[in-house]
Amino acid sequence: MLKPMSQTMIGRNSPLDRLNRRRGLTRPGSRVSTTGKAARAEVRLTAEEERLVKQILEEPIDYIDSEEFYREGAEKRIYDEAPPIQKPDVSWYRPLMDSFISGRERETRSRNTGTVLLTGAEERVLFLQYNYARHRVREIQKRLGDRLPDAATARDLLSWYRIARGYREQIAETNLALVLAMAKRTRMSEVDFADMVSEGNMALLRSVDKFDCGRGFKFSTYACRAILKAFSRQGMKLSKYRQRFPTDFDPAMEKSNHLETLRATHERECADEVKHIVATNEADLSDVEKTVIHYRFGIDTDTREASPLTLEQVGQIIGVTKERVRQIQNKALEKIRLAFEQIYPADGESTGEGVSEN
C-alpha cells in the first residue's frame, strides 16, 4: 500500500473539490483527523471504478502543456478565478439529424440550433481547464509508474479524469454545429450523410485533444480543416472499397416503402368507398348535387364517364354561376362526409382533405 501523494492544494470551489464533496471525500492535501482517514480508507472502489482506473493507467494520457500549469496557485487561477462559461443546449441535435437523414432539409434551415458562440478568451479558459485536468492525470501516472494506486490516489485519479472528460464533452457539444455545416458543404453522393457526420464528430473530438489554445487561433479554424480532411479520407476509403469489392444493384437492399404502400392503399380504399356512396346515393344527394359531383371529380353517378371540370365549366353546363357551383359542391361534400362517418367513424375526419376548388 502506497502512501498518499503530496499534491497542490485544491481550490475550495474547484471541480475536483465539488466532486469529492458530493462523494463524501475530503480534498486531496487537506488535513483530516485520524478517524476521517480511517473512514476514507474504508471506502473502496466499485468494480466499475477499478476497471476504469486500470484502463486509465494502461495508456499515458496526452495533453497540451502550458506554462500556466507550473505557476503557483495554478489550479485556483484556472478554475476558481476563471469566468463561468455557458454550457450548450444540445437538445436540437437529434431532431435535426433525423430531419437531415430523412431528407427534410427545408424544414431545418430556419430551426434554431441553440449553439453557444464562444470568444477566443472563453475558448482559452475551457482548453486550459481541460488540459490542466489531463495534466494532473498524467502526473499521477508518472508517480505511480507500474505500481497500483491506493484508494485515495485512485479516487484522485478518477476525479481528474472525469473532470477532463466533462470539459471535453462541453467543448465538443459547443462545436457540434461545425460538423453539420461542413457536412452540408461537402455532401458526397457516394457517402451516406449519417456516416459523414459520424466521421466528422470523431475528427472534432480529436481536434479537441490536439488543439493548442496558446497559439492564439480560434478552435473553429483548426477544427474545420480537420473535419474536412476526415470527410476526404472517408470518401477515398469508400471509393477504394467499392473498386475492390464491386457490387451490382440489388432492389432488395433498397429502403422499404411499406408505409407509403399502406397509405396509398388506405387512400384508394377510402376513395372507392366514397364512389360507392355517390353511386348508391347513400348520402341522399339531389340531382343537381350528383351532377356537380360527377363533373367536378369525375365520379360516375350512373353509367356516365367524365374528366374533372373547373367550377366555371360546371356552371356553364348547369346554367349557374361559379360561386353557386361552389356552394352546391360544399353542401354535397358535407353530406358525403356525414355518410362516410357513419360507416367509418375513425376515418371520417380525413374525408374531403385535398379536394381542389380550382
CATH code for the domain defined by 258-350 = 1.10.10.10
Is the pLDDT confidence value at 348 over 60?
no
Q: How confident is the model at residue 27 (pLDDT cuts 50, 70, 90)?
A: very low
Q: What is the pLDDT of residues 141-158, one digit of tens each?
A: 999 988 889 989 999 999
Q: What is the pLDDT of residues 163-178, one digit of tens each?
A: 999 999 999 999 988 8
**Domain residue extents for the chain:** 1-85+116-174, 258-350
Q: How confident is the model at residue 29 (pLDDT cuts 50, 70, 90)?
A: very low
Is the pLDDT confidence value at 9 over 50?
no
Would you say 84 and 58 are in contact if contact means Cβ atoms under 8 Å apart? no
Dihedral over Cα of 141, 146, 149, 155: its sign? positive
Dihedral over Cα of 66, 207, 158, 12: its sign? positive
Report how far apart, in Å, the C-alpha atoms of 159 and of each of 40, 85, 242 are. Answer: 15, 20, 46
- Residue 47 CA, chain-centre distance (Å), reads 32
Tell me which of 49-58, 305-314, 340-349 is least confident. 340-349
What percentage of the chain has pLDDT greater than the value 90? Answer: 26
Tell me which of 7-11, 60-64, 261-265 is least confident. 7-11
Write out the DSSP string of 252-300: GGSPP-HHHHHHHHHHHHHHHHHHHHHHHTTT---HHHHHHHHHHH---
Is the pLDDT confidence value at 23 over 50?
no
Q: What is the pLDDT of residues 84-139, one digit of tens each?
A: 888 888 888 777 777 666 655 444 444 455 566 788 889 999 999 999 999 999 99
| pLDDT at position 19 | 52
Average pLDDT, the chain: 78
Query: Average of pLDDT values for 311-333?
Result: 89
Is the pLDDT confidence value at 140 over 80?
yes
| pLDDT at position 101 | 61
Report how far apart, in Å, the C-alpha atoms of 195 and of each of 92, 186, 191, 220 are. Answer: 19, 13, 7, 21
Q: What is the DSSP letter of 79?
A: I
- Which is higher by pLDDT, 323 or 107? 323
Tell me which of 3-7, 126-130, 302-306 is least confident. 3-7
Q: What is the pLDDT of residues 210-269, one digit of tens each?
A: 999 888 889 999 999 999 998 888 888 877 766 676 666 666 666 777 788 888 888 888
Is the pLDDT confidence value at 309 over 90?
no
Tell me which of 111-115, 312-316, 339-343 is least confident. 111-115
